[in-house]
Structure 1
Amino acid sequence: MFPVHCQLYFCRLSHEATSELLKNPETRLISCSISATLKAKYPPVPLTDRPQNRHARRWVSIALLSQPAAGSARSRRGPAAWTRAGRGVRAPPDWPQRGARGRCRGGRRREAARRMGTRAGFFEVEILDWKTKEQLCFLDKVEPNATIREIRLMFHKLYPRWYPARQSIKLDPRKSLRDEEILQHLPVGTTATLYFKDLGPQIGWTTVFLIEYTGPLFIYFLFYFRMPFVYGLDERFTSSPHPVVNLACICHSFHYIKRLIETVFVHRFSHGTMPLRNIVKNCLYYWGFAAWLAYYINHPLYTPPSYGKKQINFAVIMFLLCEAGNFSIHVALSDLQKNGSKTRKIPYPTKNPFTWLFFFVSCPNYTYEVGTWISFTIMTQCVPVGLFTLLCFIQMTVWAKDKHCTYLREFKDYPSLRMPIIPFLL
C-alpha cells in the first residue's frame, strides 16, 4: 500500500525520474492512468546512460514514491534494501535513515525538498516572430537569473545568422528589452513568451561616427582650397581676401576634429550598433550640409559680416566656450559608465563650471552643440549655416525630450527643475 501523499509528489518528479518510476512494478497503481502518455513522450533510459551527478536527485524522487508504508517488511529493512525491480541497484549509501515513525533524521529531508525545488525552478522561454507570431524556438531549463543578453546568445546558437546585435527581444510586440534585464524579474510565469525582431545588418557606433565626421572635414577643404571643379578654372587654388573665411575654416575643422577625438577616446555607447541602412541617410545629412555651407562661405563673391571684427570676435568667443562646454559634458557622461557599466544613472554637475548647466537641463551637451552652430552662424552671417543650425536645433530638441522623459520614467527622484534642452523654457 502506498502513502496517501505519493500522488502529490508524483507531480513534482523530473522527466528522468518519471521514466524510471514507470518501470517499477510497485508504482503500477499510480502510473496506470498516465503511463501511456509519459512513456510516449519520455521513453525510459538505462541508469548507466545518464550523468552521475543526477543520481542523488533521481533516487530522492523515486524513494518518495516507491517507499513502502511504515511497518511493512521492506520498510523495516531500511532504504539500503530498496531496489528497483529487475535491476538490483541499491539506494545511495548517504540516503537518510528512517526513524521509528518513518521520518528522516536531521535536515536530510529538507535538503531533498530543496533539491527538488531547485530542479523545478527553471524557466521555459518561447520565442515567437513579432509579426507572424510563429514559434522560432523553445528554450528549456533556462536559469531564473539569466539575462536577456544570455537569451540572445542562446538564440544565436540556434540561428547563427542572427547575431546578438541584430536581435531585438521584446516582452510584447512593441516593447524591447535591455540586455541587463533578468528573466525572473519580468512579469512572466515560468513559461515566458518573448518576441524576436530582426534589426537587419548592424554597424558599430564608433565606425558610424568616424565615417560621418571624417567626410565634412575633407569636403570643406575642397571648397576652401577652391579646387578647379568647384568654382571654375579662373578661381582655382585662389584664396579669399577676407580673414573671416580662414577663421571659419579653422573653427569648422576644429569642431569635427574634436568630434573624432571624442569618438575614439571619450564616448561610451550604451547601444553598440546601429542598422547599416541608416549610415547612408546620416552621411547624406552631414556631408551634404558640409558641402552646402562650404560652397557659400568660400565663394569668390562672399561678403563678410555686417558688424566687422566685433561681430566676428564675439562669435569666436562664444564658439570656443560652447565647444569647451560640449566636451566637458561628454567627459562627465562618460564617467558615469566607467568599468563598462551600462546602467543608466542621473548625471549631476561636477567641479567643472561647464557642467553646472546640469542644474537646469537634462541634455546640456545638446544645448552647447546648438550654441556652437549659432555662433558659427553669427561669425559667417551665411543663410545656409542658419538653416543648418535650425535643423540641428529641431533634431536635438526631439532627442533631448526623449532622454528627459526616460529620466523621469526611470528615476522618481529626478530633479524637477530640469528642462530638456533650454533652461526654464524647453
Structure 2
Amino acid sequence: MQEALRQPLSLPGHLCVVSGGDGSFSLGTLSVLGPRELEACEERAQSLGSLVVTCSAESGPSKTSVLELEHREGRGCLPDDHIPGPLPPFFPRWHLTPLFGAVVVVWRGLWAQAGASALAAALPGCVPWARAPSFLSCITGVTVLSLQAPVRLGELGRRRSQHGPWHEVEILDAKTREKLCFLDKVEPHATIAEIKNLFTKTHPQWYPARQSLRLDPKGKSLKDEDVLQKLPVGTTATLYFRDLGAQISWVTVFLTEYAGPLFIYLLFYFRVPFIYGHKYDFTSSRHTVVHLACICHSFHYIKRLLETLFVHRFSHGTMPLRNIFKNCTYYWGFAAWMAYYINHPLYTPPTYGAQQVKLALAIFVICQLGNFSIHMALRDLRPAGSKTRKIPYPTKNPFTWLFLLVSCPNYTYEVGSWIGFAIMTQCLPVALFSLVGFTQMTIWAKGKHRSYLKEFRDYPPLRMPIIPFLL
C-alpha cells in the first residue's frame, strides 16, 4: 500500500498535504512521510492554504494531524451533524479542521466510498477526485475528495449552519420575462450589489448603476445593501431586471444645474448685447436693489456649488442621464426669466422701498445660514462612503433647533430664502419660482418623513415634514 501511495498525484489548483492514518504527513503527493516532518508540513499547509485530513475505519481521525492542528490554531472542527444524509453502519466519527483555502479529504477503509459520497453531497464544490484514477481506490482503499469552491474553510461550518446551502439566482427581463442570466453557487450572504456585479460580467452593457433588480416585475427596486438570504426567496431566487438607462453622477448634475443660473443671471445683470437693445448694452441699473439682488442670487448658487463639492454626501452615486435635461431646463429657464425682469431698464423698486428690501434681505441671510447649518448637521450624521441613516437631532447650533419641529428643515430654510428674495425684488417670476420649488420640496419632504417613520420606531412624533405644526 505504501508503494502505491508514493506514486505522485497532482491535484489541479491545489497543493495537497496528506495525513496518513498513522499520523504521517506528505506534501505535494500521496507519498508517506515520517512524523518528524509533521510540524514543517503544518506550517506549509497554513501558508499555502491546503490540508488533507484522513479517516480510516480502523483508527478513526489521526490524533496528531487533526486534533493537534485544531488545538494550535484555536479553531473548532466541523461537527458531524453538519453533514446531512445517512451514513453506513459502524462508520467512524470524523472531523474536518477548518484552516484556509482548499482542502482535500482522504478516507481509508471499507466504507470509504460511501463516506466520500456523503461528504460530496453535503459540501458545495466537493469533487470525488479519485473516481478518475479508480485503480488507486481499488488497490489502496483510498478515496480523495477535492474541495474546489473558493471559500474560507474557517467560515465553512458557520455558513452551513447559519446561511444554509448555496443559492441559485435567475434574472429575467421585467417586461418580456426573457431569461437574461442564471447564476449558480451564489453565497447566501451575497448582497444585491454583488449580484449586480456578477450580472455585469455576462451583460457588460448594463453596468451596476444602470440596473434595477426587484422581486416583482412591477415592484420596488431592491437596495444594493439587501442580503440575498434575508429576502423572501428560497434557494432558487428569481429577480426581475429593468434598465434604468444611461447614468450620470449626482455631482455632475448638481454642478451643471447650479453653474447655469449663476452664469445666465450675470449675462442679464451686465446687459450684454442683444438682450435689451443697443442703447442699454453694458449699462448699469441705478437702483440699489438690483445690485443687491445680483449679490444674493450669486451667493446662493456659489454656496450650492461649494456644498456639492465639499459638504453633500450622496446615498446614490448616479441618476438617469435624462434628468439633467429636465433639471437644467427648470433652473436655467427660471434664472433667465427672473433675471430678465429684475435687470430690465424699466424695472421699478419695491413698493415700500428700503424698509421692504432690508426686511427681505434679513430673511434671505438668516435662511441661507440655516440651510447651510442643516446641511452640515446632515453631513456629520453619515460617515464618508457609507449609506447609514440616523435620526437627525438639533445640535448646539441654534439654526438646527428647527429639527425639533420638522423632518427636513433644509427645505424649510430653502423656501424661506426664495420668499425673502421674492419680497426683495417684488418680481412675479421669482414668486412663481418659489411656489414651484415649495411644491417640489414638499413632495420630497413628505417622502423623507415617511421613510423616517417607517425606519425608526422612536422617531419624534411632534415633527412635521416641512412646515411646523401644519405640513
TM-score normalised by the chain length of structure 1: 0.77
The CA distance in 1 between the partners of 2:144 and 2:90, in whole Å, is 20
Query: Which residue of 346, 349, 364 corresponds with 1:301?
Result: 346
Q: Report the equivalent of 2:28.
A: none
**Residue 192 of structure 2 corresponds to residue 160 of structure 1:** no
8 Å Cα contact 1:57-1:116 kept in structure 2: no
Q: What is the Cα deviation at residue 419 of structure 1?
A: 0.5
Q: Percent identity?
A: 65
Query: Which residue of 389, 392, 396 corresponds with 2:441?
Result: 396
The CA distance in 1 between the partners of 2:143 and 2:357, in whole Å, is 90
**Residue 275 of structure 2 corresponds to residue 230 of structure 1:** yes
Query: 1:207 and 1:87, CA in 2 relative to 1: closer, same or farther beyond 3 A?
Result: same
**Residue 132 of structure 2 corresponds to residue 87 of structure 1:** no
Q: Which amino acid aligns with 1:323?
A: Q
1:313-348 deviation per Cα after TM superposition (whole angstroms, max 9, x unaligned): 111111000000000111111111113220222111
**Residue 215 of structure 2 corresponds to residue 171 of structure 1:** yes
Query: 1:117 and 1:360, CA in 2 relative to 1: closer, same or farther beyond 3 A?
Result: closer
Q: What is the Cα deviation at residue 47 of structure 1?
A: 9.5
Query: Which residue of 350, 375, 388 corresponds with 2:395?
Result: 350
Q: Which amino acid aligns with 1:209?
A: F
Query: 1:157 and 1:55, CA in 2 relative to 1: closer, same or farther beyond 3 A?
Result: farther
Q: Report the equivalent of 1:22.
A: none
8 Å Cα contact 1:296-1:302 kept in structure 2: yes
Q: Report the equivalent of 2:373.
A: 328
The CA distance in 2 between the partners of 1:399 and 1:244, in whole Å, is 32
The CA distance in 1 between the partners of 2:249 and 2:180, in whole Å, is 27
Q: Report the equivalent of 2:363.
A: 318
Query: Which residue of 413, 420, 425 corresponds with 2:465?
Result: 420
The CA distance in 2 between the partners of 1:367 and 1:328, in whole Å, is 12
Query: 1:55 and 1:159, CA in 2 relative to 1: closer, same or farther beyond 3 A?
Result: farther
- Secondary structure of the structure 1 residue equivalent to 2:462: coil
Q: Runs of 5+ in structure 1 lacking a partner?
A: 1-45, 72-78, 95-110
8 Å Cα contact 1:80-1:93 kept in structure 2: no
Query: Which residue of 329, 341, 355 corresponds with 2:386?
Result: 341
Q: Which amino acid aligns with 1:399?
A: W
Query: 1:140 and 1:57, CA in 2 relative to 1: closer, same or farther beyond 3 A?
Result: farther
Q: What is the Cα deviation at residue 64 of structure 1?
A: 9.4
Q: Report the equivalent of 1:20.
A: none
Q: Report the equivalent of 2:97.
A: none
Q: Which amino acid aligns with 1:416?
A: P
**Residue 180 of structure 2 corresponds to residue 136 of structure 1:** yes
Question: After the TM superposition, which parts of structure 1 deviate over 2 Å for at least 4 consecutive aligned residues?
Answer: 46-61, 63-71, 79-94, 111-120
Q: What is the Cα deviation at residue 87 of structure 1?
A: 3.4
The CA distance in 2 between the partners of 1:136 and 1:58, in whole Å, is 45
Query: 1:192 and 1:302, CA in 2 relative to 1: closer, same or farther beyond 3 A?
Result: same
Query: Which residue of 400, 406, 425 corresponds with 1:380?
Result: 425
Q: Report the equivalent of 1:276.
A: 321
Q: Runs of 5+ in structure 2 lacking a partner?
A: 1-8, 17-49, 57-79, 92-106, 114-133, 146-154
Q: Report the equivalent of 1:21.
A: none
8 Å Cα contact 2:136-2:142 kept in structure 1: no
Query: 1:383 and 1:91, CA in 2 relative to 1: closer, same or farther beyond 3 A?
Result: same
Query: 1:419 and 1:218, CA in 2 relative to 1: closer, same or farther beyond 3 A?
Result: same
1:327-376 deviation per Cα after TM superposition (whole angstroms, max 9, x unaligned): 01111111111132202221111111111111111110000000000000
Q: What is the Cα deviation at residue 66 of structure 1?
A: 10
**Residue 218 of structure 2 corresponds to residue 190 of structure 1:** no
8 Å Cα contact 2:54-2:108 kept in structure 1: no
8 Å Cα contact 1:57-1:115 kept in structure 2: no
The CA distance in 1 between the partners of 2:275 and 2:463, in whole Å, is 47
**Residue 198 of structure 2 corresponds to residue 148 of structure 1:** no
Q: What is the Cα deviation at residue 91 of structure 1?
A: 3.6
Q: Which amino acid aligns with 1:408?
A: L
The CA distance in 1 between the partners of 2:163 and 2:444, in whole Å, is 46
Q: Which amino acid aligns with 1:80?
A: R
The CA distance in 1 between the partners of 2:422 and 2:242, in whole Å, is 43
Q: Report the equivalent of 2:299.
A: 254
Q: Which amino acid aligns with 1:162?
A: W
8 Å Cα contact 2:163-2:188 kept in structure 1: no
Q: What is the Cα deviation at residue 112 of structure 1?
A: 11
TM-score normalised by the chain length of structure 2: 0.70
Q: Which amino acid aligns with 2:263?
A: F
The CA distance in 1 between the partners of 2:368 and 2:262, in whole Å, is 17
The CA distance in 1 between the partners of 2:293 and 2:415, in whole Å, is 17
Q: What is the Cα deviation at residue 50 of structure 1?
A: 7.6
Query: 1:65 and 1:234, CA in 2 relative to 1: closer, same or farther beyond 3 A?
Result: closer
Q: Which amino acid aligns with 2:436?
A: L
Query: 1:47 and 1:116, CA in 2 relative to 1: closer, same or farther beyond 3 A?
Result: farther
8 Å Cα contact 2:192-2:226 kept in structure 1: yes
Q: What is the Cα deviation at residue 80 of structure 1?
A: 2.5
Q: What is the Cα deviation at residue 90 of structure 1?
A: 3.9
The number of equivalent residue pairs is 357
- Secondary structure of the structure 1 residue equivalent to 2:384: helix
Q: Which has the higher helix share?
A: 1
The CA distance in 2 between the partners of 1:158 and 1:387, in whole Å, is 49
Query: 1:356 and 1:87, CA in 2 relative to 1: closer, same or farther beyond 3 A?
Result: same
Q: Report the equivalent of 1:211.
A: 256
Q: What is the Cα deviation at residue 185 of structure 1?
A: 1.2
The CA distance in 2 between the partners of 1:57 and 1:201, in whole Å, is 55
Q: Which amino acid aligns with 1:334?
A: R
Query: 1:410 and 1:225, CA in 2 relative to 1: closer, same or farther beyond 3 A?
Result: same
